[in-house]
């Protein structure tokens, strides 16, 4: 079975500071990994995904994540936070075989102050 | 633009009064999902259709049912809504793309039960 742990239900940064949102996964088989962003009263938008092609994955809005198998991690980073980055972020895992269902983490709310 | 559409965006229903939420897609994806997301929680998968095959999650209450009359449309029926069913309901779609079932989400329907 797969699972995801997101450390920190809330993360606060200042505008222009580094954003680091943590995600650790557990999977008995090679995983696919995803980061989604959700703005208030909106659906989920895919930021980026890891599908084993490259360990450093670049996504939309300047975000990137690095897959580290030895650490079972897939942390999300952005060099410089913008006010518009304030949202809820979900890490998710699925298996890389057959039909996949997503298993979501509990989410991290990113707060950006001026 | 190809997309996932949910109507209505906001729905108010009375305790015990049946309600139907609608999802349509122009992506021509063969898989459609319904998720329930309560405040400050991760989305929880209720069920999915793989083509015409309905797949219920083991812990989805009997109060929740779904219909998929054709590839483009999928409905979520709540037979007797309780106060605990107030949530955001998210529809998503996917298809097999090189072994990856990447999910595309609609904007959601926020259900209020009075």
Q: How far is A37 from chain B (nearest CA, A)?
A: 11
Choose from B43, B88, B94 for mutation: most chain A CBs within 10 A.
B43
- Per-residue confidence (pLDDT) for residue A96, from 0 to 100: 66
Taking residues B85-101, report their average pLDDT.
Answer: 91
- Per-residue confidence (pLDDT) for residue B2, from 0 to 100: 65
φ and ψ at residue B45, rounded to 5 degrees: -70, 125
How far from chain centre, in Å, is Cα A8? 12
- Predicted confidence band of residue B99 (pLDDT cuts 50, 70, 90): confident
- Per-residue confidence (pLDDT) for residue A52, from 0 to 100: 80
φ and ψ at residue B5, rounded to 5 degrees: -120, 135
- Interface A-B, measured as beta-carbon pairs within 8 A, has a size of 50
| Arithmetic mean of pLDDT over chain A | 92
CB contact under 8 A, B42 and A45: no
The burial class, CB within 10 Å (0-12 / 13-18 / 19+), for A35 is buried
Q: Output the six-digit token pair for A95.
A: 């298996």
Q: Which of A104-108, A109-113, B94-98 has the lowest mean pLDDT?
A: B94-98
Q: Is the pLDDT of residue B107 over 90?
A: yes
What is the rounded CA–CA span in Å between residue A86 and residue A78?
12
Q: Output the six-digit token pair for B80.
A: 């007797």
Q: Is the pLDDT of residue A38 over 70?
A: yes
Taking residues B32-52, report their average pLDDT.
Answer: 94
Choose from A31, A43, A104, A107 for mutation: most chain B CBs within 10 A.
A43
CB contact under 8 A, A107 and B45: no
- Per-residue confidence (pLDDT) for residue A54, from 0 to 100: 87
- Per-residue confidence (pLDDT) for residue B66, from 0 to 100: 97
Q: Which of residues 33-62 of A touch B (CB under 8 A)?
A: 36, 41-46, 49, 51
- Per-residue confidence (pLDDT) for residue A104, from 0 to 100: 93
Closest Cα in chain A to B42: A106
Taking residues A25-29, report their average pLDDT.
Answer: 86
- Residue recorded with tokens 């410089």: A80
Q: What is the pLDDT of residues A56-99, one digit of tens each?
A: 999 999 999 999 999 999 999 999 999 999 999 999 998 766 77
Q: Is the pLDDT of residue A36 over 70?
A: yes
Q: How far is B53 from chain A (nearest CA, A)?
A: 13
CB contact under 8 A, A46 and B102: yes
């Amino acid at each position: 079975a797969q699972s995801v742990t997101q450390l920190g239900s809330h993360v606060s940064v200042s505008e222009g500071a580094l954003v680091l949102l943590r995600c650790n996964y557990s999977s008995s088989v090679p995983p696919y990994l995803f980061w989604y962003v959700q703005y208030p009263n909106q659906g989920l938008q895919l930021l980026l995904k890891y599908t084993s092609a490259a360990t450093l994955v670049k996504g939309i809005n300047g975000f990137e994540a690095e897959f580290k198998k030895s650490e079972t991690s897939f942390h999300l980073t952005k060099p410089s936070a913008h006010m518009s980055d304030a949202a809820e972020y979900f890490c998710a895992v699925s298996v890389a075989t057959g039909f996949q269902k997503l298993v979501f983490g509990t989410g991290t709310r990113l707060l950006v102050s001026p | 633009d190809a997309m996932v559409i949910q109507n209505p965006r906001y729905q108010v229903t009375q305790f015990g009064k049946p309600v139907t939420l609608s999802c349509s897609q122009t992506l021509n994806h063969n898989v459609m999902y319904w998720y329930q997301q309560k405040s400050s929680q991760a989305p929880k998968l209720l069920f999915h259709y793989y083509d015409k095959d309905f797949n219920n999650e083991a812990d989805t209450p009997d109060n929740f049912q779904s219909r998929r009359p054709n590839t483009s449309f999928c409905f979520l029926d709540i037979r007797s809504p309780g106060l605990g069913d107030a949530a955001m309901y998210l529809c998503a779609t996917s298809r097999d793309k090189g072994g990856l079932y990447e999910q595309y989400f609609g904007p959601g329907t926020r259900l209020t039960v009075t």
